[in-house]
Structure 1
Amino acid sequence: MSADLTFRQPTEADHARVLAALGPWWGGLKGEAGARERASLVPRLYFQHFTTFSRLAERPDGTLAAFLIGFVSQTDPSVAYIHFVGVDPQLHGQGIGRSLYEWFFGRVRESGVLKVKCITSPQNTGSRAYHARLGFEVSEVLPDYDGPGLDRVAFTRSLAAEPA
């Protein structure tokens, strides 16, 4: 992993920076409609109310290198959820994403979390493989998970047996 990165908790001022990365980092996937869809998944409220368990990585020049938006469930405090993660494609393969996940696992474990969950679309084979490598159980396709025609794949990782 690149040792010259700085990791910190995001602030509301970081919202625009993350939104700006959603197009180029995803290679224009699905064009303008895809960019709007991704932006709708990362509203400002995550940078106002869900920063305790979220993290940003910056280069020495202050540019965004990676981010993880996550939280502990309000309904079930033994469960945490990773909502959105991004790493600058120029930095893929350097362990930055893994370090964000490992930080999250440690942080939520301190709060009593026993299980971490997240989802992706069935077409996102890269995400499915990545989460499996990180020790997540990968579900079958869940039809209409987020509404009609919005199938998803769910990931679950137990933290119960891991050392603190």
Structure 2
Amino acid sequence: MTLRHPAASDHPRLQVALADWWGGLGGDAGVLQRQLLVPRLFLQHFAETSYLVEGDDGALRAFLIGFLSQTEPKTAYIHFVGVCPEGQRGGLGSALYHRFFDTARGHGRTQVRCITSPTNLNSIAYHTRMGFRLEPGDRVEGGVPVHGDYDGPGLDRVSFVRDL
């Protein structure tokens, strides 16, 4: 396996992964939502804090898109992470998170933030196992604090923070 920073030329491969790796979750609308969350600009402007993992065959196996907050100088942010279905539960995701934590620490950051959908129970469980705390929201659903309309009307999110 090879770990490297992404380039703008990786964008088409990421778009395919965003369509394929989630098993059709959300249908065509879900695919489009995921693809729109990872525009080319992340690969152009946040490459040094983002990572790709490729197999020996050159196929994309995992990715993490992250950046250092310009507004909060002690904060880094993980925007989107994906691991191919065959690579899940094999430590690729955790390795990417830990690499990002090291990058963030190296830039003097003391916390990492991220969000997920309240319906993505696997993501909520994963982030909790990775040491993230759930931040209080404006309501609780199924024991999970939810930030209503976080990303716009009807776009509720769960917010996490992890101290480094």
TM-score range normalised by the length of the shorter chain: over 0.9
Describe how 1:66-145 pairs up with structure 2 within 5 A: 66-139=62-135, 140-145=145-150
Correspondence for 2:7: 11
- TM-score, normalising length: structure 2: 0.93
Distance in 2, Cα, partners of 1:49 & 1:77? 18
- TM-score, normalising length: structure 1: 0.93
1:141 partner amino acid:
V
Structure 1 residue aligned with 2:153, among 148, 151, 161? 148
Describe how 1:45-56 pairs up with structure 2 within 5 A: 45-56=41-52
2:98 partner amino acid:
E
Deviation at 1:76, TM superposition (A): 1.4
Once superposed, which parts of structure 1, at least 4 consecutive aligned residues long, lie more than 3 Å away?
Answer: none
Q: Deviations over 1:78-106 (max 9, x none)?
A: 10000000000111111000000000000
Could you list the runs of 5+ residues in structure 1 that have no partner in the other structure?
A: 160-164
Correspondence for 1:64: 60
Distance in 1, Cα, partners of 2:64 & 2:73? 19
2:70 partner amino acid:
Q
Distance in 1, Cα, partners of 2:43 & 2:134? 28
Deviation at 1:131, TM superposition (A): 0.2
1:12 partner amino acid:
A
Distance in 1, Cα, partners of 2:91 & 2:120? 20
Question: How many residues get paired?
Answer: 155
